[in-house]
Amino acid sequence: MSKPYPPTYKKVINVVMLTLTGIAALLVVSVLLFILGYLVWNGARSLNLNFFTKLPVPVGEKGGGMANAILGTVKLLTLASAIGVPIGLLGGIYLAEFGKGPFSFAVRYTTDLLNGVPSIVIGIFVYSLIVLPKLHPSLLARLFPSYFGHFSTFAGGVALGIMMIPIALRSTDDFLRAVPNTLREGGLALGASKAQTIVTVIIPAAMHGIVTGIMLDVARVAGETAPLLFTAFGNVFWSHGWNGPTASLPVVIFNYAISPYTDWHRQAWAAGFVLLSGIFLTNIVARLLVSGKGSRSRSYRLRIPMAALDLFSGKRSRVRS
């Protein structure tokens, strides 16, 4: 009689290991539920109308809100998008439609590199570029002196804008590549030039994906704190125009969280709740936009170098015929 296969010990290992993987998955998901639950519980309780309409008040006084930080975040994101989106979009079009050879490789490599640069390093860079140009004078600083030499919304927006470029570029690149070549050929066959085909056929075909990529990009930089610490800095009042320091939600959360005052902690929870709600909503809406489109939903989800992913997973080749 032959022994039964698999032997008992293998069956035991099987059950134990599979259970462990289930526990691991459960653990990770429960962390999310916990974070959400805790923030909603603590944040929503501390939230009131004042939070959205009033300026912060000194410690000890009742009331006060974070209206200036909310506006500051909106302004920073607007400026960041104005910088990051066009460059990312156009660069992505270049890579997908025109680029080949070593220059494209260099652009992709640099984009992944820039994507991997820690956000605090971007902060230092923009500090030395804009906030303290004396350290390292540049032509722009001489041309527009009023924007340079101090903390400002402008500097914060530039820092976030630089951080937005890589994902905007790579997601545009990816989604344009997903457009079938027959569409390109169809456009050209009708006598349209390449540029006309790109603008009227290819980009509309990839629009959903591109918009999704940009929304996720904005959601990601919305929570960035480190690059704002020494660019936008902070402000307890309204910040007028673009060349004064401004408050922003992430930085206020940080400052309030490490303060010793319970009332500030309460406000930090409220701000965290507002910030996270905005980010999650954007994420969910952005994904609904592309869900069911059969798109490659992978590339724009996380802040990761996409070329690396492609090569690692070996799922598709970067080389175009």
Partner 1 sequence: MMGVKDAGEKLSLMARLKKGDEVAYLITFASALSIILVTCLLVEHLWVDSALSRQAFGWKFLATSTWDPVTDVYGALPFIYGTVLTAFLALVWGVPVGIGAAIFLAELAPRRVSNVLTFMIELLAAVPSVIYGLLGIFVMLPILTKYVVPVIQKLFGFLPIFKGEFYGVSYFSASCVLAIMIVPFIVSISREVLLAVPQAQREAMMALGATKWDVTWKSVVPYAQRGMIGSVFLALARALGETMAVTMVIGNVPQIRASLFAPGYTIAAVIANEFTEASGNLYISALIELALVLFAVTMIINALARLLMLGMKSQEGGH
For residues 6 and 145, which CB has a smaller minimum distance to partner 1 in the complex? 6
Contact set for partner 1, span 44-103 (CB under 8 A): 86-91, 93-95, 97-99, 103
Distances (CA, A) of 81 to 33, 129, 165: 31, 19, 9
Contact set for partner 1, span 241-260 (CB under 8 A): 250, 253-254, 257-258
Contact set for partner 1, span 138-157 (CB under 8 A): none
Binding of residue 263 to partner 1 (CB under 8 A): no
Largest CA-CA distance found in the chain, in angstroms, rounded: 91
For residues 53 and 207, which CB has a smaller minimum distance to partner 1 in the complex? 207
How many residues are given for the chain?
321
Contact set for partner 1, span 164-193 (CB under 8 A): 165-166, 169, 193
Q: Are 44 and 273 in contact (CB under 8 A)?
A: yes
Q: What is the distance between the alpha carbons of residues 113 and 111, in angstroms, rounded to a whole number?
A: 5
Distances (CA, A) of 50 to 44, 57, 85, 164: 13, 11, 33, 32
For residues 65 and 88, which CB has a smaller minimum distance to partner 1 in the complex? 88
Binding of residue 41 to partner 1 (CB under 8 A): no
Identified binder of partner 1 from the candidate list 217, 269, 270, 295, rule CB under 8 A: 269
* Residue 82: Cβ within 10 Å count: 13
Distances (CA, A) of 222 to 28, 124, 189, 250, 279: 24, 18, 43, 8, 7
For residues 65 and 217, which CB has a smaller minimum distance to partner 1 in the complex? 217
Contact set for partner 1, span 284-303 (CB under 8 A): 287, 298, 301-303
Beta strand ranges found along the chain (DSSP E): none
For residues 17 and 44, which CB has a smaller minimum distance to partner 1 in the complex? 17
Mark the segment that binds partner 1 (CB under 8 A) among 54-62, 142-150, 207-215, 278-286: 278-286
